[in-house]
Amino acid sequence: MEIREYTKYNEEEIFNLYAAVGWTAYTENISDMCHKADEPIYVTKNGYGDMVLMSIEYYEATQKQLQIYKDIELSEKQIKEGKTKDARKALSSVREKYGL
């Protein structure tokens, strides 16, 4: 038996190996677990954090929340820098611009 290190992977070979060792059923279990969990699943290696698994729905919700935090941070920075407008004047100019 020869052990080789691959630097390029043949996708079909990987999928055949994946099916041969039964990983398809294993990943279905992981997928079910991720979808049932209402939080990320943390995987450790030798007692240290290594990976985080989560459903795509949880990931997308997390990304939306992160974007909201970024927008709030930008808004707070603009307020500190005095980059604000009077709300009445701003709404008035919008109404005037669009004939509202």
Q: Which residues constitute the domain of residue 94? A: 55-100
Q: What is the DSSP string of 26-82?
A: HHHHHHHHHHH-SS-EEEEETTEEEEEE--HHHHHHHHHHHHHHHHHHHHHHHHHTT
Task: Report yes or no on 65 lying in a domain.
Answer: yes
Task: Report yes or no on 38 lying in a domain.
Answer: no
Q: What mean pLDDT do residues 86-98 have? A: 93
Q: Cα 69–74–79 angle (5° rounding)?
A: 125
| pLDDT tens, residue by residue, 32-67 | 888 888 889 898 888 888 889 999 999 999 999 999
The mean predicted confidence, pLDDT, of the chain is 85
- pLDDT exceeds cutoff 70 at 72: yes
d(CA 10, CA 86): 61
Task: Report yes or no on 72 lying in a domain.
Answer: yes
> How many domains does the chain contain in total?
1
Q: What pLDDT is attached to residue 73? A: 97
Distance of CA 77 to the CA centre of its chain: 25
